[in-house]
Structure 1
Amino acid sequence: MNDCRWEWTDAPDGVVGVVASSTMIERIYYVSSRGSLRRALCQDFPEAGQAQSHLVRETLGQIKEYFQGKRWMFDLPLNQRELTDFQRAVHTTLMATRPGETISYAELAEKAGFSGAARAVGQVMASNPFPIVVPCHRVIHRDGSLGSYSAASGAASKQQLLAAERQMNQNINAFSG
């Protein structure tokens, strides 16, 4: 994929990097530092060049709006061709979860049509190629504990994202009430 371009932006507790072809988002990274981003890009997309394309710019803009509390949902063409049917079903189901709300791995498996596949859902979340846009930070353990998070600062980032989303919900409810 030598037509891919990438760019990054600062996030509250790390860096978000976006890799896109001319038509699709290939990968979103949410990592702790620019150095971590460069290492991941060199490994996963060695031929991609740093340059803003329309799609990279649009994606970064939507992600910035999310971090500013101005965006709930994303409207981006994600390249899911490499995902299995199971992974796509889990991602699609998860994207219907409202911001600030959580869902357990077991509940997500059941809603996606794969009752009893909580561990497999956990693996899908751990390898999510589109963090934030596919909101794996909303998935928690059945007992209510947060569990781990493979992006940025780990569980601390997960907790911060959920808290920010809950605040967005409160602001919207106060405005509409």
Structure 2
Amino acid sequence: MHYCLIETELGWFGLAWSPNGITRAYLPGDSVHSLRERFDRFGCETAHWPPFIDEARRLILGYARGEPVCFDCLPLDLSGVSEFYRRVYDDILGLGRGETTTYGDIARRLGDVGLSRAVGQAMGSNPIPLIIPCHRVLASGGRSGGFSAPGGSASKMRMLALEGFQNPQDAQTAFDF
């Protein structure tokens, strides 16, 4: 497995991939050195990457500039992810830019509102945040809920603000940077 680091206007992103697709992403918030340390366990950094990584880099740079981008064309390798988590991720991959849903709504769509906590666990374990848009999943009542990326819920709301989403519950948080 290989990885690359991407310097954007939001900070450093990192992507890892297999021959089958993107396997892991890290959002901005850590230093380049920390990202390299985190990625070194997955393989080596490389200057030569497949075309889908060129496209991912282009899309991530556009996203960081606030441009409307869509990650649907990117292959994802979720071979190490449980079937339930894949079902959750498939559900949120249908969300468009600035569109949100809740943990409970996903659980209902999966057939059991009692799965809301399991949906939350899937969000916290998302190996490819941004591309699998877990930042678009809110708690009930429009509250931001948790976010496991650097910066926590403030980062989540900042990402949603970049997408044009305005939530009265969290409007202050979105701009506290």
TM-score range, shorter chain: 0.7 to 0.9
**Farther-moved stretch of structure 1 (31-40 vs 127-136):** 31-40
Residue 19 (1) aligns with residue 48 (2): no
Q: Is the Cα–Cα contact under 8 Å of residues 31 and 37 in structure 1 kept in the other structure?
A: no
Cα distance change of structure 1 residues 83 and 19 upon mapping to structure 2, 3 Å threshold? same
Cα distance change of structure 1 residues 149 and 11 upon mapping to structure 2, 3 Å threshold? farther
Tell me which residue corresponds to 2:48.
Answer: 52
Superposition CA RMSD, Å? 1.8
Q: Identity of counterpart residues, as a percentage?
A: 33
Aligned partners of 1:98 and 1:24: how far apart in 2? 21
- The gaps in structure 2 that reach 5 residues or longer are 166-177
The one of 60, 69, 81 equivalent to 1:71 is 69
Tell me which residue corresponds to 2:110.
Answer: 112
Aligned residues: 162
Give, in angstroms, the shift of residue 83 of structure 1.
1.4
Aligned partners of 1:52 and 1:150: how far apart in 2? 30
Tell me which residue corresponds to 1:95.
Answer: 93
TM-score, normalised to structure 2, is: 0.82
Q: Is the Cα–Cα contact under 8 Å of residues 101 and 166 in structure 1 kept in the other structure?
A: no
Give, in angstroms, the shift of residue 110 of structure 1.
1.3
Question: 1:33-68, CA deviations, whole angstroms, 9 ceiling, x for partnerless residues?
Answer: 21331221134x1x3233230232222112222223
Q: Which amino acid letter does the alignment assign opposite residue 15 of structure 1? A: W
Tell me which residue corresponds to 1:123.
Answer: 121
Q: Which amino acid letter does the alignment assign opposite residue 128 of structure 2? A: F
Q: Which amino acid letter does the alignment assign opposite residue 72 of structure 1? A: C
TM-score, normalised to structure 1, is: 0.82
Aligned partners of 1:11 and 1:119: how far apart in 2? 33
Cα distance change of structure 1 residues 111 and 92 upon mapping to structure 2, 3 Å threshold? same
- The gaps in structure 1 that reach 5 residues or longer are 168-177
Aligned partners of 2:144 and 2:128: how far apart in 1? 19
Secondary structure in 1 aligned to 2:164?
Answer: helix
